Copies of this chain bind each other. A is one copy, B any other.
């Protein structure tokens, strides 16, 4: 019951921030959407920034965990891992496009402070780089610079989501995983 209110607030925040952007979102709008009082938000979050951080923390953690789980499965090739990851990600976004909007858009944050979010935003490419790197070492993938490829891949993911969300053509997301895999398959 208690934890539930926190969820309600986060959901409301995701919606409003997706529509308006972090800086244009007023705490009172989040409260309105969540059908609670502004003050109540501060019983669960220390600040507006923390709300955004929590959103990022959760979503990125989910994805990092998912990726970690895939790595633990020795049966899978690097290609499989990336494929599964992409499919999961795009399918999640399709289920909650608001979230997708925020995840690709909020690259600008309250200065300095929120190292937190910046951190998450780095971890995923890093993890992707790791996967690519180990695949490369095992001869599964021919890539020269895993960091670069991971950065490109991560950007491509964002680009596709952004496009799909902006045009509300969520069907783009269905083909997206397959499409992006071509990027890793080289002669």
Binding site for B on A (CB under 8 A): 20-24, 104-111, 122, 125, 144-145, 147-149, 151-160, 162-164, 166, 172, 175-176, 179-180, 182-183, 185-187
Q: Are A160 and B148 CB-contacts (below 8 A) given A21-B109, A108-B105, A111-B24? A: yes
Q: Report whether over half of chain A's contact residues are helix, strand or loop; otherwise say mixed.
A: helix
A148 to chain B, nearest CB (A): 5
With both beta carbons as reference points, the residue of chain B lying nearest to A158 in the complex is identified as B155
A152/B144 in contact, CB under 8 A: no
Contacts beyond the supplied A148-B176, A149-B179: 7 A-B pairs with Cβ under 8 Å: A23-B108, A105-B108, A147-B163, A152-B183, A155-B158, A156-B183, A158-B158
The count of identical subunits is: 4
CA distance A176 to B148 in the complex (A): 7
Q: Are A148 and B179 CB-contacts (below 8 A) given A154-B159, A155-B157, A158-B155? A: yes
CA distance A182 to B187 in the complex (A): 9
